[in-house]
Amino acid sequence: MAASDNRTPQQKVFDSIRQDIHTLDSKISLIAQKLRTIEQNEEIIGRTIVTHNEKLSELDEKSDAPSAVNVAANSANTKDYDSLKKQIEEIRKDVSEMRYVLNSINPLEYATLDQVKDLLKDRK
């Protein structure tokens, strides 16, 4: 400390300026290092975005292709459904006609087995 007391005011100012310059140089070096890190991160993020965009476009293409297949399958299923629906309607009509016929038949109007046997005996 005694040596620093022997310094002239100009030397003290010069030493102070040198320390300030050294401090500023360290701060500038830290800022430059942070900027390099930011630039590296930007490059990594850019590559990541490109990769994700490629994957998204692949997924879009894959989802579009099955959609066309699904549309064709759905239209085929719709046609099958419509034909089955028509067949069911036809069967319902047939069943309703059979019910009508069965309901219109009065079992009392027909001859019993014993009556038929009696009629056959009478013929002989």
Q: Would residue 1 count as lying in a domain?
A: no
Highest mean pLDDT among 33-37, 65-69, 113-117: 33-37
Residue percentage of the chain with pLDDT more than 70: 82
Q: Would residue 73 count as lying in a domain?
A: yes
Count of structural domains within the chain: 1
User: What's the pLDDT at 122?
Assistant: 84
Query: Would you say 111 and 119 are in contact if contact means Cβ atoms under 8 Å apart?
Result: yes
Q: Would residue 71 count as lying in a domain?
A: yes
| Model confidence pLDDT, tens digit, residues 72-107 | 667 778 888 888 999 999 999 988 888 887 777 766
Q: Would residue 2 count as lying in a domain?
A: no
Q: Can you give the residue range of the structural domain that contains 44?
A: 7-123
Question: Tokens representing 14?
Answer: 């010069």
The CA distance from 49 to 30, in Å, is 28
Q: Would residue 55 count as lying in a domain?
A: yes
Q: Would residue 35 count as lying in a domain?
A: yes
Residue percentage of the chain with pLDDT more than 90: 34
Q: Which SS3 state, helix, strand or coil, does residue 106 take?
A: coil
User: What's the pLDDT at 69?
Assistant: 57
For residue 25, pLDDT over 80 is answered with yes
The CA distance from 90 to 83, in Å, is 11
Q: Would residue 14 count as lying in a domain?
A: yes
Q: ∠ at Cα 91 (85, 93), nearest 5°?
A: 105
